[in-house]
Amino acid sequence: MKYHGANHHEIELGNGKLHVFANDEVFGTFEAKVYEMANNNLLIPRNQYMSYTPDAHVGIGTCIGTTAVWSMKDGCVSPSIVGSDIGCGMRVHTTRLHKRDIQNKATRRALIAAIEKYVPTGERTNSNYEDIDVMEVVRHGLKGLPGKYVPDERWLTHVEQAEFAYDRTYLNDLPPKIVKYARGQLGTLGSGNHFIEIQYLEIEAEYADLAAKWGLFDGQVVVMIHSGSRAWGGMVGREHNKTIKEAMRLWGVSNPDPNLIYAPIASHEGQTYLNLMYSALNFAVSNRHMIAHGVREAFRDVFGPETELPVLYDLMHNYALKEFHRGQPMLVHRKGATRALPPGHFLNAPAYKETGHPALIPGSMGTSSYIMIGKDEGLKNFYSICHGAGRARSRKATKELVTVDQFERSLKVGTDDEILVNHRSLQTILDECPQAYKDVDQIIDSVVGASLAAVVAKCKPMAAIKGV
């Protein structure tokens, strides 16, 4: 193993090199399985680079927390290194409110109730936006939404990408039922680790000027949203996992892990998946947009019709994007990894070209989340940082090892600073308790120590809305 300075390890595996960005405490927790999975991933031909961020943990086919890169000229695309929830990502909206404005529990409960009125939170729920043409959304992303759902231009400009362009003739390859399922899910939260969280900010003194440029202030109430492409992305993944797996069989290609699938970018299977993946990215960014629209309506119900929730940023952490690195076009896969571009980088959204964009990193329910800024040194990891805390144990193990009493203490139940949730029984969401996740502060310390990004603000939770 080589050590490239603070928190950067290079490990020589049987099939290639793996870079790991983690401090000593986090690095020591990685189990053998994550290295086994990396070694399997490195069997994919002509890999240019592969790394783990400190939140890395075992997933299906590939660890969550992976960045893997191939040349667009002769490389491969892997649905396994994109993930099943294509386009899953984060979104933050700001308010003019201060923490003290919602300190009263009755106010926060009113906000939770209002948000649930506008944002369906069940796994199988119907969208409130049946007047939106889902096909326009998957074709054009945010630009396919009716104008009445775009409060101002920021909702289109302060995002990683408003529209992902692709060859839309590939939509003809999808089964008709996908439209039926997806139509009822636009603007819905979903279950699992997806959430809407009401938070307040603690600005880092060193980055107070940058925070001010972004419109952030100490004690400010913000809303963080985590969701993805719902049924559309799920069906795209399932359909083309089967297609590519069958193609691999016909090509005589195998891997020790049957859940790891891939195809040459230039192949029919590779092009079909890539193009339809971009349709799912369009759905994902639009889904978070419409969730945010519902949250805005809820805040207006509680605080008055003049209330606005400007967009800070929207980004994704499950995708494969064509990016230019080392003087050539490359396909950068990020599965549970966040792009964090530094100030001045040409890939920044125009609104953030000068300052660099906010990198949005959720914690776990009951712990801090973070707003970060990428650093120039992030080039060594293709500008990828963590996407959250990362699971420390499975859902089943969490339910076996953690009690509701422990969960309640994490949420400060019964105190003035209680983090309110929308579930009457914490037992129903026990598998999402903070004890299920790694220590997010150690994850952030790993990223900062590796000079990949810096903290601009901590986001402290006050209320959480989870799916069922």
Closest of 441, 438, 431, 443 to residue 407, by C-alpha: 431
> Which of the residues 93, 345, 387, 423 is marked catalytic?
387
The reply, when asked if residue 277 is annotated as ligand binding, is no
Q: Token pair for residue 77?
A: 């695309």
59 CB-near residues (< 8 Å, 6+ apart):
37, 83, 335, 336
**What DSSP string runs through 67-91?**
EEEEETTT-EE-GGGT-SSTT-EEE
String of b and e for 379-394 (b: at least 16 CB within 10 Å)?
Answer: ebbbbbbbbbbbbbbe
Q: How far is CA 457 from CA 108, 154, 207, 218, 449, in A?
A: 22, 21, 8, 9, 17
The one-letter amino acid at 58: V
The reply, when asked if residue 388 is annotated as ligand binding, is yes
Angle at 380 (CA atoms; ends 376, 386), nearest 5 degrees: 85
Angle, nearest 10°, between helix axes 268-303 and 105-118? Answer: 130
The reply, when asked if residue 368 is annotated as ligand binding, is no
The reply, when asked if residue 322 is annotated as ligand binding, is no
134 CB-near residues (< 8 Å, 6+ apart):
179, 182, 183, 186, 232, 283
Closest of 14, 1, 67, 3 to residue 42, by C-alpha: 14
The reply, when asked if residue 193 is annotated as ligand binding, is yes
The reply, when asked if residue 226 is annotated as ligand binding, is yes
Q: Token pair for residue 269?
A: 């299977």
The reply, when asked if residue 215 is annotated as ligand binding, is no
Closest of 359, 356, 312 to residue 339, by C-alpha: 359
The reply, when asked if residue 85 is annotated as ligand binding, is yes
387 catalytic? Reply is yes
The reply, when asked if residue 93 is annotated as ligand binding, is no
Which helix (H) or strand (E) covers residue 360, if one does?
A: strand 358-361
The reply, when asked if residue 389 is annotated as ligand binding, is yes
The reply, when asked if residue 317 is annotated as ligand binding, is yes
The reply, when asked if residue 227 is annotated as ligand binding, is no
Cα 351 to Cα 214: distance, rounded to the nearest angstrom = 10
The reply, when asked if residue 158 is annotated as ligand binding, is no
DSSP structure class, residue 413:
T
Bridge partner residues of 320 (DSSP): 333
The reply, when asked if residue 390 is annotated as ligand binding, is yes
Which helix (H) or strand (E) covers residue 453, if one does?
A: strand 453-466
Helices (H), 93-229: 105-118, 134-140, 154-157, 177-183, 208-213
Contact status, residue 360 vs residue 90, Cβ threshold 8 Å: yes
The reply, when asked if residue 194 is annotated as ligand binding, is yes
The reply, when asked if residue 325 is annotated as ligand binding, is no
Q: How far is CA 197 from CA 52, 154, 183, 367, in A?
A: 27, 21, 25, 11
The reply, when asked if residue 41 is annotated as ligand binding, is no
Place of tokens 């949203």: 225
Residues annotated in a binding site for Mn(2+): 85, 194, 226, 317
Annotated binding-site residues for GMP read 193-197, 317-318, 362-365, 369, 387-390, 466
Detail the residues annotated as belonging to a binding site: 85, 193-197, 226, 317-318, 362-365, 369, 387-390, 466
Residues with a known catalytic role: 387
